[in-house]
Each structure stands twice: as structure tokens, then as C-alpha cells.
């Protein structure tokens, strides 16, 4: 395995991992995006190589052994031990390399760091709700840069799928189940967020925009933020006897985050025009790194 890792880390294969935006993929904006991209490009260019080789040989053999006047066909070979061994060993080695790259990347994605900041996510037709540990609920997701963020996700109705291409992050959101995924954004900015599972008539409206927002100085401590829009309000959390952090009352009895019902927290911005209907569920996830005062409506996340 050390040999495989050395080969994959060699300078000759570093071109497979491109941090900037390419024709195939957006720019990498999470710590594990490079592992995902390396596997993607490895399989892509390996497939291109063998496709070109096989098609090229097919075209060459068709031309060389074509029927023509004065040519006598030769009997076809039915067995070649050397060739059979080669085309067995090479695919096995390729599968081992792909498995190693995929398994190591999967284990990294599946195991969040211990200090990850946890945010509860609720998917519903056709929007997302994000609940912070202090009880604040919003349709926007605000996260700091260079800090692990763990999302605990469930659905109110049908299966959704939270997909952030720039983070190479995608996870199904299933009713009655709690799925967890984490990421660590390595650069502030705005990024696209989608629902990648068809969930009904307005599935295409279930899109989000991540954008950079400043945050208040971490030394000032965490506090309950104010509402971000006239369509959302705060939950009224109850203080836990074992924690100094405000948490929603719905988590007290079960120990698990219970998604807040959208009808009690947020109402959608509705428009009579078709364009308003098309984009009424636009939301944001922001990534930031600066310790400067944040707007009134952004949630507090302490380091």
C-alpha cells in the first residue's frame, strides 16, 4: 500500500489533481475535494487511454485484414497464454489502485473531526432549513472557513439530496433517518448548493447560493443572532441544565435533533410572476475567515 501511495503522490500524477476550476469540475473549496478529484481524473484519463488504444487497434486490424483481391486469409489464433496473463494482471492492478484511492477518500469523508461544529439540516418541499446549536433557524447556511462543519440531515417529506459541487459533497436526506456528513471549507466565497434528488414539481427551485459573509470577532463569544429576513424568526430554545449553549427544546427529550416544521418558522417569499415563482427558494451558504463584525442577521459561530 505504501508503494501505491508513493506512486499516486509522485509528481507525474499531480496533474490529476487540479485545484482551479476546469472544464470537468468547479474549483476545489474543501479539504477533501482534492482526493475526490484525483480519483475522478485518474479514472477519466485511464478510460480515455484504453478507449483510444482499443478503438485504434480495431481500426488498424479492420484495415490490415480487410478482404482484398489476391489475399489469402490466415486461420485465427485460439489461445495465447502470455496475452491472457497480461490482460488479467493489468486490470487487477488497476482495480486495486482505484479501490485504494476510493477507500481512503471515503474513510476521510465518513469520519468527521472531533471538534466539528454541528448544524442540523432539514429538507422539505422545496427548501432547506438550517438549525444552529443556539436554536437559530434560517434558510441560509453560514459557515466559517478552515473549520470542520458537520451536518446532521433529515427530511420532512420525501427523499432529498444535499449537493455542494465545490465541496465535492453529496448526501441523501431521508425521512425518519439522520444522515451525517462533514466538510471543511478552505476558501471564503459563494458557491452553489443543489438538491440532487428529484423531489416533486418544484425540484428545480430547491437551489441555494453560498456567498461570503463576514463574522463577528470570535473573542466576543457566541450569541443568538437576529432574524435574517421577515420570512424567518427564531425558535425559542430552552437552556439545557448540562450545557451553557442554548439548544432547541425539541432536542431535549430524545438527544437527537428534531427538525423544526417549516410552517412554524419560515414562510416562503411568494411572487405572482413566473420569475418570482422560479427563484423564490433562493438561499445561501456563506464561508468566511475574517474576525470582523458581521451583519445583524448572520448566525454566530465561535471558533
The residues spanned by each domain of the chain are 2-69+78-110, 117-288
The residue behind cell 458581521 is: 294
How much of the chain exceeds pLDDT 90, in percent?
A: 28
13-57 pLDDT, tens digit per residue, is: 555 556 677 788 888 888 888 899 999 999 999 999 999 999 999
Q: 265 near 192, Cβ under 8 Å?
A: no
Domain 117-288, CATH homologous superfamily name and number: Cupredoxins -  blue copper proteins (2.60.40.420)
Query: What does 215-238 look like in DSSP terms, one character per residue?
Result: B--GGG---PPPPSSTTB-----E
Tell me how far CA of residue 180 lies from CA of 64, 152, 174, 210, in angstroms.
57, 5, 11, 20
Give me 31's grid cell: 479539504
More confident residue, 66 or 155: 155
Tell me how far CA of residue 141 lies from CA of 62, 66, 93, 229, 255, in angstroms.
58, 64, 43, 14, 23
* CA pair distance 112, 108, nearest whole angstrom: 7
pLDDT at position 143:
83
120-173 pLDDT, tens digit per residue, is: 999 988 888 889 888 888 888 888 888 899 999 999 999 999 999 889 989 999
More confident residue, 85 or 226: 85
Backbone torsions φ then ψ of 39, nearest 5 degrees: -65, -40
* CA pair distance 184, 169, nearest whole angstrom: 11
The residue behind cell 420532512 is: 156
Amino acid at each position: 500500500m505504501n508503494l501505491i501511495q508513493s506512486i499516486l503522490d509522485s509528481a507525474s500524477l499531480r496533474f490529476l489533481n487540479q485545484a482551479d476550476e476546469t472544464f470537468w469540475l468547479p474549483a476545489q473549496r474543501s479539504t477533501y475535494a482534492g482526493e475526490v478529484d484525483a480519483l475522478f481524473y485518474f479514472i477519466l484519463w485511464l478510460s480515455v487511454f484504453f478507449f483510444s488504444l482499443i478503438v485504434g487497434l480495431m481500426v488498424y486490424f479492420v484495415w490490415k485484414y480487410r478482404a482484398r483481391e489476391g489475399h489469402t486469409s490466415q486461420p485465427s489464433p485460439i489461445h495465447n497464454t502470455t496475452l491472457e496473463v497480461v490482460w488479467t494482471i493489468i486490470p487487477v492492478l488497476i482495480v486495486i489502485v482505484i479501490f485504494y484511492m476510493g477507500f481512503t477518500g471515503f474513510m476521510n469523508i465518513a469520519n468527521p473531526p472531533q471538534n466539528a461544529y454541528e448544524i442540523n439540516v432539514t429538507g422539505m418541499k422545496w427548501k432547506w432549513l438550517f438549525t444552529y446549536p443556539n436554536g437559530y433557524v434560517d434558510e441560509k447556511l453560514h459557515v466559517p472557513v478552515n473549520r470542520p462543519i458537520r451536518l446532521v440531515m433529515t427530511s420532512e417529506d420525501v427523499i432529498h439530496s444535499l449537493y455542494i459541487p465545490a465541496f465535492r459533497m453529496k448526501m441523501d436526506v431521508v425521512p425518519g433517518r439522520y444522515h451525517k456528513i462533514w466538510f471543511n471549507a478552505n476558501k471564503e466565497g459563494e458557491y452553489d448548493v443543489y438538491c440532487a434528488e428529484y423531489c416533486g414539481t418544484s425540484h428545480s427551485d430547491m437551489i441555494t447560493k453560498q456567498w461570503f459573509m463576514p463574522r463577528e470577532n470570535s473573542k466576543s463569544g457566541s450569541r443568538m443572532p437576529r432574524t435574517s429576513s421577515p420570512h424567518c424568526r427564531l425558535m425559542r430554545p430552552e437552556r439545557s441544565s448540562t450545557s451553557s449553549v442554548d439548544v432547541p427544546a425539541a432536542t431535549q427529550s430524545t438527544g437527537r435533533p428534531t427538525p423544526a416544521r417549516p410552517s412554524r418558522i419560515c414562510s416562503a417569499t411568494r411572487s405572482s410572476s413566473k420569475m418570482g415563482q422560479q427563484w423564490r427558494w433562493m438561499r445561501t451558504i456563506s464561508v468566511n475567515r475574517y474576525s470582523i463584525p458581521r451583519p445583524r442577521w448572520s448566525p454566530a459561530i465561535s471558533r
